[in-house]
Amino acid sequence: MRIEISENDTNNLSRAMSSDHAAALAATGLMDVSPSGVGMWRLATATNRVGAVRIGDLDVVVRPKATFGSVLFMLGYARDPGFTADEVDGLDADDVWPAVAETLVRLAERALRQGVLQGYVTREESLAVLRGRMRAADQVARRPGMLLPLEVTFDEYEVDIPENRIVRAALRRMALVPRLDRPLRARLAHLAGRLDGASDLVPGAPLPQWSPSRANSRYQPALRLGEQVLRSVGLSTTAGGASVAAFVVDMAVVFEDFVTVALREAFGVLSPLGRTVGQFGAWLDERSRVRARPDVVHTVRGVPRLVLDAKYKLGYSDGSYPTADVYQLHAYCTALGLLRGYLVYAGSRRVGAAPVEHRVLNTEIDVVQWPLDVSVPPAQLVAQVAELAAASVDVTAARTPATDAPG
């Protein structure tokens, strides 16, 4: 059975399934599940969640406003602005599993084109000869009075480094998900095989830590997506033994993170002396008791010059948006001493929606509602953010200084 529905669809579905399947589907967070009769379950989309779940022979897909390829691009770009649009060009937009797998394969192939990365790994072993340095305390505690073997610590130059462990684990996990054709599975298995010297990750343990460097620069796009795969793609079984595969994404978080990073990149070109801060700390009141955290604030010499807030919401049929958001931006502008603020939305239900400016009565504050069309190809989406950044820099002016709140 296959169930397909658009994200944030308000129409509930009623389907027959076992209690094991219903419990497994609810646990993924993709849909809200509640009983609606004997053997029947009411399914409703969870707010802003998209992705796919496979439970036995049940397929559930919640489609985003954007294509799955664009979702992957926003995920990748938010973690690494070097993640380019061509990484997801030509992906099949109809199914999340092939889209994720194909993107990971492309990035892994690019990472391994110059060979498998190696690095120094610190080892602690018991050896018959001295290598590196001896751990005297361990030698005395474990082998009192014995000369051999020696407890030693040494550095080994090898492939078993965090970068290879993460990429290998992500490739192996994607090879187990449903709805992949044989050639794609073969490419995943081949790439994982090239990293056989990397050890397995411990299930449930935190991912290995790595730091960006010139040495691993070619790995970084694959690492970013690999970490996302390991965090988002779940493989398990139901109480009845049916296999479960899930890839679930919170689009509100993805959109906010993407907008923050894309604006930071754009402002870095337009206002190189400034600094763009995500989740900026400020106060709404004089006694510093009411906190405010705008999604994006651009400062110049420590003084806020621009405030923007990302909202992953659909507009109303007439192209307008919830008025509470305008109240919120008005408060941010007042607290930060700005005459203009921007509400950045993920598109509108009205075709051709354009930015709308609101002058707040009895003030000089303008709140601009600016839709981004997330259904366009990734390169155009980045261009839209750059257009927003250019427009905001051109017309926004500060009124009074404000100070970033601690924390």
| pLDDT average, residue stretch 255-283 | 90
Residue 262 is predicted with a pLDDT of: 93
Q: What confidence tens digit (pLDDT) does each residue in 303-323 have?
A: 999 999 999 876 555 556 678
Determine if the pTM surpasses 0.75.
Answer: yes
- Local structure of 303: helix, strand or coil: strand
Q: Which residue has the higher pLDDT, 66 or 223?
A: 223
| Domain limits, the chain | 2-115+162-252, 119-158, 271-395
Residue 402 is predicted with a pLDDT of: 45
Tokens representing residue 319 in the block: 């192209």
| pLDDT average, residue stretch 185-204 | 92
| pLDDT average, residue stretch 88-115 | 82
Residue 41 is predicted with a pLDDT of: 92
Going by pLDDT thresholds of 50, 70 and 90, the confidence category of residue 111 is: very high
As to burial, measured by CB atoms within 10 angstroms (0-12 exposed, 13-18 middle, 19+ buried), residue 406 is exposed
Residue 234 is predicted with a pLDDT of: 77
| pLDDT average, residue stretch 253-276 | 90
Q: Which residue has the higher pLDDT, 296 or 87?
A: 296
Query: What percentage of the chain carries pLDDT values higher than 70?
Result: 89
Return d(Cα 352, Cα 333) in angstroms, integer.
Answer: 28
- Local structure of 285: helix, strand or coil: coil
Going by pLDDT thresholds of 50, 70 and 90, the confidence category of residue 75 is: confident
Chain centroid to CA 211: how far? 18
Q: What confidence tens digit (pLDDT) does each residue in 351-404 have?
A: 667 888 999 999 999 999 998 888 888 888 899 999 999 999 886 544 444 444
Residue 11 is predicted with a pLDDT of: 83
Query: 58-63 and 49-55: which strand pairing?
Result: antiparallel
Q: What is the DSSP string of 240-278?
A: TS-EEEEEEEEHHHHHHHHHHHHHHHHHHHH-TTEEEEE
Query: What percentage of the chain carries pLDDT values higher than 90?
Result: 34
Going by pLDDT thresholds of 50, 70 and 90, the confidence category of residue 287 is: confident
* Mean of per-residue pLDDT scores for the chain: 85
DSSP E strands, 8-92: 13-16, 31-37, 40-45, 49-55, 58-63
Residue 332 is predicted with a pLDDT of: 94
Nearest to 179 by CA among 235, 87, 96: 96
pLDDT at 155 over 90: no
Residue 97 is predicted with a pLDDT of: 87
Task: Name the CA dihedral angle for 174, 180, 186, 187, rounded to a multiple of 10 degrees.
Answer: -60
Q: Which residue has the higher pLDDT, 132 or 108?
A: 108
Highest mean pLDDT (candidates 130-134, 201-205, 300-304):
300-304
